[in-house]
Amino acid sequence: MVTKNLVRVKVNGQDCEAEIEPRLLLAHFIRDVLGLTGTHVGCDTTNCGACTVILDGRPVKSCTVFAVQAEGREIRTIEGVANHGQLHPLQEGFKEEHGLQCGFCTPGMILSAYALLEKNPHPTEEEIRWGISGNLCRCTGYQNIVKAVQYAANKMSGEKHAA
């Protein structure tokens, strides 16, 4: 009765496929079908950004994307940020700079920052604040999140020089 579509997506480097309803949101696909619960849902009006994932290199709010729209594309979720258990400089930065408290906004926040640093490896404080302005946080007041992103930016450019 309910039409289902086959959708094929590459998630964190792995090919995934499933039969899903066309109205299934990408956020629910990631959480309920793929079992990757690091991506969170915090609102119902596309305001909070907790559901941010990276779709073909761009940060998107997965609650406002249909899973079928990801057909044939690549997604990175928070589970795909660490490198085989080695924390990404952003993840390290959030820990070092106390950039999280309850942790609920953190995956989305890290992915937005991830996308920001890919485009702009040396952002100013203002650019960081604008870069994460689509992600709401109720606990930290953002100050330490900014520091966390700066930590990562410094570490990553340092690593580049070392390499």
Partner 1 sequence: MLHKTSPEIGGMGHSVKRKEDLRFVQGKGTYVEDVRLPGMVYGQMVRSPYAHARIKAIRTEEARKLPGVLAVITGQDLEKAGLSWMPTLFHDKQMVLATGKVLFQSQEVAFVVAEDRYTAADAAELVEVDYEDLPVLVDPHRALDADAPILREDREEKTNHIFHWEVGDRKATESVLQSAPVKAKLDAFFPRCHPAPLETCGCVADYNSATGKLTVWETSQAPHAHRTLFALVAGLPENNIRIIAPDIGGGFGNKVPIYPGYVCAVVASLQLGRPVKWIETRSENLQSTGFARDYHMTAELAADRDGKLRGLRVKTLADHGAFNAAAQPSKFPAGLFSICTGSYDFATAFCEVDGVYTNKAPGGIAYRCSFRVTEAAYLIERAMDVLAQELKMDPVELRLKNFIPGDKFPYQSPLGWSYDSGDYHAAMNLALEKIGYRDLRKQQEDKRKNGELMGIGVSSFTEIVGAGPAHTFDIVGIKMFDSCEIRVHPTGKAIARMGTKAQGQGHETTFAQIIAQELGIPVADITVEEGDTDTAPYGLGTYASRSTPVAGAATSMASRKIRDKARKIAGHLLEVSEEDLEWEPGKFYVKGAPSKSKTIQEIAFAAYTNLPPGLEAGLEAVHYYDPPNLTFPFGTYICVVDIDKGTGEVKVRRFVAVDDCGNIINPMIVEGQIHGGLTEGLAIAFMQEIAYDENGNIQGGTFMDYLVPTAVETPNWETDKTCTPSPHHPLGAKGVGESPNVGSPAAFVNAVVDALAHLGVRHIDMPITPWKVWQILKAKGVAE
Q: Is 34 helix (H, G, I), strand (E, B) or coil?
A: coil
Buried b (16+ CB within 10 A) or exposed e, 78-117: bbbbeeeeeebbbbbbbeebebbeeebbbbbbbbbbbbbb
Binding of partner 1 at residue 146 (CB under 8 A)? yes
Q: Which range, of 44-52, 64-72, 114-122, 151-159, touches partner 1 by CB under 8 A?
A: 44-52
Binding of partner 1 at residue 127 (CB under 8 A)? no
Q: Which range, of 65-73, 116-124, 131-139, 151-159, touches partner 1 by CB under 8 A?
A: 131-139
Q: Which range, of 64-72, 115-123, 138-146, 153-161, touches partner 1 by CB under 8 A?
A: 138-146
Among 6, 47, 119, 122, binds partner 1 (CB under 8 A): 47
Order the strands of the 74-76 sheet from edge to edge.
Answer: 14-20, 5-11, 74-76, 52-55, 58-61
Binding of partner 1 at residue 102 (CB under 8 A)? yes
